[in-house]
Amino acid sequence: MDCRDVQNLLHPYSDGELDLIRHLQIENHLDDCKECAERARSLRQLRGVLASTSLYHRAPDGLQAKLRATAEPLPTPSGRTGQRRPSAMLAAMAAGIFVLLGAVTAGFLFSRPGTIDDRFAERVVAGHVRSLQVAHATDVVSSDRHTVKPWFLGKVNFSPRVPDLSPQGYTLSGGRLDYLIDRPVAALVYHRRAHLINVFTWPAPDDGEQPVRSLHRQGFQIRSWQHSGMVYWAISDLNDVELDEFVRLFQEHTAAAPG
């Protein structure tokens, strides 16, 4: 494992999201590489700072008094003033605080080098490599789409489209449940000769269409697109021509016969 591989995986490593084999490989690399070890140490320090109680402060007495003064009294059954409740001003102030915190968090997350696609591609590569290294490419082993598709029932909150591309030389091998970022996804597994193709899919946030985008990471070819309310990320060590053909066939079949 070289420095580029390790640096691409430092964030999931620091979050404890990698499998044991990959985790140990990174630890061994950090023992020998000062630059990568320093990056990992910086990440740990940042996590410690964000978790520090020094970031949280008690409101001054004067501010507390002002907030209490803006509260509205709760009427009692007798019409007399009773317990006080927060006014719209208090709610607005609280909302402003949460907006500010959200902006700070988003600024930190998106200040990391690279585009959103670049950072998501890191997770796709990690998921692909993990499935190869731990010999866990499939939870359900079958070349029958009518076996693979219903296997996901109850495991994810959507029904993945599972086209049969065996006549075109891309054999369905099965599927598994995987996780990318913060969501469970369906991973469909195909083979082209000895080359494994992982297709990660989950519901899109909208019904918009997005054309195929090409990425190359750590020796793998990656294609991502959005169609009919579903997001797709395909990854393999196949050459560009064959992976593009696979994606084209996959799109044609899912468009012609959804599901």
- Could you state, in order of their start, the residue ranges of all structural domains in the chain? 1-46+86-113, 137-256
Burial of 201 per CB tally in 10 Å (0-12, 13-18, 19+): buried
Residue 22 C-alpha from the chain's centroid: 18
The fold adopted by the segment(s) 137-256 is: Phosphorylase Kinase; domain 1 (3.30.200)
pLDDT in tens, the chain (259 residues): 788 888 778 877 877 777 667 777 888 888 889 888 888 887 776 666 555 555 555 666 776 676 676 655 555 555 555 554 555 555 555 544 444 444 444 444 444 444 556 677 888 888 888 888 766 788 899 999 999 999 999 999 999 999 999 999 999 999 999 888 667 899 999 999 999 999 999 998 888 899 999 998 888 999 999 998 999 999 999 999 999 999 999 999 988 765 5
Helix (H, G, I), strand (E, B) or coil at 177: strand
pTM equals 0.56
How many Å apart are CA 159 and CA 253, to the nearest integer? 16
